[in-house]
Amino acid sequence: MTSEHISVNRDEAVMRIAFNRPEKKNAITAVMYAALADALEEAERDDAVRAVLFEAAGDMFTAGNDIGDFMSGGASPADPHQTPPVMRFLFALAKAEKPLIAAVQGGAVGVGVTMLFHCDLVYASKNATFHTPFVDLALVPEAASSLLLPQIAGHQRAAEMLLAGKKIDAARARELGFVNEVVAHEATGDAGLTAAREIAAKAPAAVRLTKNLMRGDRDLIVARMKEEGAHFAAQLSSAEFREAGAAFMQKRKPDFSKRS
């Protein structure tokens, strides 16, 4: 599936996948998730692709899920036996054997952050911020972030983002371990592309084997994605989520003192 809001281009052996919906802060719809999944699956099939670079147009990397599309059921396929587009994308991230590089030039929210935990190299602008407000919305983390971020940052520092929901800057993200380098805003794209080209020029079998050895058991990651997804779906039907949604719409602080 193609999408005008996801651009896919080839730079020799690098597949460049970009969020291209800047007027909506690159918020991701179901159609966009399907296009992202298609691009990653194509990259895995094509021997000429040696690395994948994620990037974005505009001031935001991505604001995460498009709330309107999400609330309207756009993320759910008509056939209940089909895998939802968002899960196709997440599974593709988890199973990717080609190196994944990200150039984060602005704010990243929700899945815009958790997808980075699957990347092998992440370059961030000094302007970039990272926010995972799942618990604040009465939801749970996704993309196996409840497994991967504690592995990357340690439990307590992961809790800073996943439990406390603290928005952090690029320097703190580098301290936590999921950003490799913080660069000048105007240099972010070049940093990501240069790294992708350098890896793409290396011996492909050695790169693939090394990534597989580093990543470990992908089945555990996929299993955690499914576990998170089940809890996420249950929370969507909870009184907590109804209160969080009402508070968001009314621009007030949610009150979780009473649970029903």
Residue at 260 is within a domain: no
The predicted model scores a pTM of 0.94
Check residue 71 and give its pLDDT.
66
Check residue 259 and give its pLDDT.
60
What averages of pLDDT result for each successive group of 10 residues across the chain (260 residues)?
87 98 96 97 98 98 87 57 91 98 98 98 98 96 98 98 98 98 98 98 98 94 97 93 89 83
- For residue 75, count other CB atoms closer than 10 A to its CB: 18
Residue at 236 is within a domain: no
Within 8 A by CB and 6+ apart from 16, the residues are 7, 8, 9, 10, 52, 53, 55, 193, 196
Check residue 76 and give its pLDDT.
55
Residue 44: CATH number of its domain: 3.90.226.10
Residue at 240 is within a domain: no
Check residue 67 and give its pLDDT.
79
* Beta-carbon-side half-sphere exposure of residue 181 (alpha carbons within 13 Å): 16
Residue at 241 is within a domain: no
46, containing H or E segment? none
Residue at 50 is within a domain: yes
Distance, in Å, from the CA atom of 201 to the CA atom of 4, rounded to the nearest integer, reads 30
Check residue 249 and give its pLDDT.
84
Residue at 235 is within a domain: no
63 phi and psi angles, rounded to 5 deg: -85, 5
Check residue 68 and give its pLDDT.
78
Check residue 140 and give its pLDDT.
97
Residue at 127 is within a domain: yes
Residue at 107 is within a domain: yes
Domain that holds residue 61: 6-186+200-205
Please tell me the total count of domains within the chain.
1
